[in-house]
Amino acid sequence: MSLTPAPKDDPHTLVSTDWLASHLKDPDLRLLDASWFLPPSERNARAEYEAAHIPGARFFDLEEISDHRSNLPHMVPPVEKFMSRMRAMGVGDGHQVVVYDSTGIFSAPRIWWTFRLMGKNDVAVLDGGLPKWQAEGRETEDLPPVIRDRHMTTQRQNHLVKDVTQVAHAAKLKQAVVVDARAPARFAGEAPEPRPGLRAGHIPGSRNLPWGNLLNQDGTMKDPAVLRMIFQEAGIDLAQPVITSCGSGVSAAILALSLERIGHRNWSLYDGSWAEWGMYEDLPVETGPAA
């Protein structure tokens, strides 16, 4: 299968700090700080945003803008809640959205995926995020943005998300390649899960591709040609549909963004990921490295 990679600066996937600097004052640009940290880090994403953010950025609270009806962590919000929160943030139709985080590339792709799921394609992740922006000596501020309501229409793209039943069916019948972004020790079941009560291991037949393998040392994403080689070396058949997974659906979006960058369009994200699969005793679990 021929894959057409995305250009270096692509407003639908990934843009550089140079691109953002040249478009920062565009009237229809909306910049979102989607920083989020795992609980052990003891970092407060909102407090860090309030102390310093790229000029004009709004804070996208991944935990608050989620489905609070679910007992799983930060599941994708209902369409109505997403639309309401975006309108309150002044994000709507006709806007070019750029999402960044203060790790480099970690939680921002999850918000990119959420917008794509809602049918919004004019959204990109800032390559290297806030650390690269600051390392280059670019401006930050601590002022809240001026918000003006903007209407948003959505058209949910259900093919971009999978639930546990769909993943179990696809894995059993080998209808798709399930790719797990967790660290090798967690994938193999050799390290305990950070969330209590979860079994250790992975979805049977899945492949392991730790999300950090897709990034350079400076937190930027590797070039599409290199990404494609990494997927292939991980034993992932890019002629097949791909379902991305991880611990709770955050780093799985880094895999999804990488697939989009290399031109692989037939992918979806398992929103519940291991937080869900590892919870159900009746679902099969494999341990050890991928076969």
CA distances in angstroms from 92 to 30, 33, 64, listed in the order given: 9, 16, 19
Active site residue 128: no
For residue 47, give every residue at least 6 positions away whose Cβ sits within 8 Å of its Cβ, in sequence order, or none.
none
* Rounded Cα distance, 102 and 181, in Å: 20
- Cα(45)–Cα(48) distance, rounded to whole angstroms? 5
CA angle centred on 276, ends 270 and 281, rounded to 5°: 130
DSSP string, 95-112: PEEEEE-SSSSSSHHHHH
Of 75, 123, 246, 253, catalytic: 246
Judged by DSSP in three states, 171 sits in helix
Q: 213 CB contacts (<8 Å, ≥6 apart)?
A: 230
What are the structure tokens assigned to 90, written together? 């002044």
Cα 63–chain centre separation? 14
> What is the side-by-side order of every strand in the sheet holding 177-180?
161-162, 267-270, 242-245, 177-180, 207-208
Active site residues: 246
